[in-house]
Amino acid sequence: MASVLADRLARVRAHTVALAAPLTEADAQVQSMPDASPAKWHLAHVTWFFETMVLERFEPGFQPHHPAFRVLFNSYYQGVGDQHPRPQRGLITRPGLAEVLAYRSAVDARLQALLDAPPGRLPAEALALVELGLQHEQQHQELLLTDVLHLLSCNPLSPAYDAEPPAATETAAPLSWLAFDGGLVDIGHSGGGFAFDNESPRHRAWLAPHALAQRLSTQGEWLAFVADGGYRDPRWWLSAAWEWLRAERIEAPLHWRRSEADGPPQAWQTYTLNGLVALDPHRPVVHISLYEADAYARWLAAQTGQPLRLPTEAEWERAAAAGLPQAFGHAWQWTNSAYLPYPGFQPWAGAVGEYNGKFMMNQMVLRGGSLATPYGHSRISYRNFFPPSTRWQFSGLRLARDGG
């Protein structure tokens, strides 16, 4: 168990460094907005998590790598102590990137030494916390990419994080529907393998008959919503969404740009990790908020006369257990389920009890996984969550329809 974990630790930790490798030191330093963190901060924070949650408790004779890091790289754990203010993470110019990478190496060596202990010496809780540290680091691998994308999108030169051209897409099939019966279904983590605390307990949910789209909504379909004036018509928007849209002057998904020179007005481009590219009508739309996904469903319902809406998380999970196409690897899928505790939810014991439970208010659940989600990190019971105006993540939508 410990040696398997040691191998995974080495691989996951190396992958994070590899993701940051294309960045200049300046790229890794700057914070483009309060929601996003500098890549250097991500590199340090995930290391802080291992140092604080694992080494501090289980390493004999523990000494901190640097006493100041406890505050600098604490994200939101009140039980651990003070935190450097989130919007000011980009101002931490020292330690520099080399020093942060040295911090990583030092903590890696100490973790590997801990895992080298004779069998039975290390409590099961320590191994569980190393596993949690790996899952946490994988979450930050995706955040690192979304934050880098946002940062580089602010540069008028539109630099590409990844110089490779985007992978070719296949033609999106016409939208069709997968019908599901109503009734009682079981959702939540079913045991076996890692899951976050917010995926438990497994419990029963009541579903009415409904259908789910067999694929995600595409950029081409979204363009029709834009071209029809969808962003200017209050009929489609929730009240909070309309206020947000007006205040933020939203007129298209994040990272969409209208070509200003010649070309028809519908000539849009989108900024991606591969740089600025033409919209691909067959590729799933990403970087939309829940507000936009909801408005789109309302607009399309009016166009088609069908009772369209976003799926609930229980509908999504039941369908994913039956092999829902495009469940993973493209875009996180907004649901119209509020992020709330499952019946009987108990946060983990100790400092990591702050991991998920304290955010269960004013956020909405996304299901699935995106093109930036690390391999092996996805699960059908996985609950991602963000406030409804969030759109710098790789968030898209799958439509649902009332009735079969």
Nearer to Fe ion, 337 or 373 (CB): 373
Is residue 16 close enough to count as binding Fe ion by CB under 5 A?
Answer: no
Six-digit token string for 263: 């070309």
Smallest distance, Fe ion to C-beta of residue 137, A? 9
Nearer to Fe ion, 177 or 348 (CB): 348
Nearer to Fe ion, 75 or 390 (CB): 75
* Segment contacting Fe ion by CB under 5 A, of 73-81, 115-123, 187-195, 333-341: 73-81
Nearer to Fe ion, 74 or 289 (CB): 74
Is residue 75 close enough to count as binding Fe ion by CB under 5 A?
Answer: yes
3 state SS for 289-328: CHHHHHHHHHHHHHHHCCCEECCCHHHHHHHHHCCCCCCC
Of the candidates 128, 138, 137, 139, the one whose C-alpha atom is nearest the C-alpha of residue 194 is 128
Decide: 185 and 207 in contact? Cβ < 8 Å: yes
Residue nearest to Fe ion (CB): 75
Decide: 89 and 41 in contact? Cβ < 8 Å: yes
* Segment contacting Fe ion by CB under 5 A, of 69-77, 181-189, 284-292, 324-332: 69-77
Q: Does residue 99 sit in helix, strand or coil?
A: helix
* Segment contacting Fe ion by CB under 5 A, of 72-80, 170-178, 290-298, 318-326: 72-80
DSSP string, 134-198: HHHHHHHHHHHHHHHHHHHHTSTT---SS-SPPPPPPPPPPP-EEEE--EEEEES--SSS---GG
Number of residues that bind Fe ion (CB under 5 A): 1
Nearer to Fe ion, 75 or 219 (CB): 75
Smallest distance, Fe ion to C-beta of residue 310, A? 27
Is residue 52 close enough to count as binding Fe ion by CB under 5 A?
Answer: no
Of the candidates 153, 169, 160, the one whose C-alpha atom is nearest the C-alpha of residue 254 is 153
Between CA 394 and CA 384 the distance in angstroms is: 12
Between CA 187 and CA 380 the distance in angstroms is: 9
Is residue 141 close enough to count as binding Fe ion by CB under 5 A?
Answer: no
Nearer to Fe ion, 75 or 200 (CB): 75
Between CA 124 and CA 397 the distance in angstroms is: 39
Q: Does residue 19 sit in helix, strand or coil?
A: helix
Smallest distance, Fe ion to C-beta of residue 134, A? 12
Contact pattern from residue 298 through residue 317 relative to Fe ion, giving x for each residue in contact according to CB under 5 A and a dash for the rest: --------------------
Between CA 231 and CA 55 the distance in angstroms is: 51
Query: What's the CA dihedral at 142, 292, 216, 158 to 10 degrees?
Result: -50
Smallest distance, Fe ion to C-beta of residue 24, A? 24
Smallest distance, Fe ion to C-beta of residue 244, A? 26
Smallest distance, Fe ion to C-beta of residue 75, A? 5
Token pair 């033609």: residue: 171
* Segment contacting Fe ion by CB under 5 A, of 56-64, 70-78, 149-157, 196-204: 70-78
Smallest distance, Fe ion to C-beta of residue 88, A? 17
Kindly list the distances between the CA atom of residue 390 and the CA atoms of 231, 241, 285, 382, in Å, as whole numbers in the listed order: 17, 11, 15, 18
Smallest distance, Fe ion to C-beta of residue 136, A? 6
Smallest distance, Fe ion to C-beta of residue 327, A? 25
Query: What's the CA dihedral at 312, 137, 132, 346 to 10 degrees?
Result: -40
Question: For the chain, percent helix, then strand, then coil, each to nearest 5?
Answer: 40, 15, 45
* Segment contacting Fe ion by CB under 5 A, of 74-82, 110-118, 158-166, 336-344: 74-82
Smallest distance, Fe ion to C-beta of residue 66, A? 19
Between CA 46 and CA 341 the distance in angstroms is: 25
Q: Write out the residues near Fe ion by the rule CB under 5 A.
A: 75
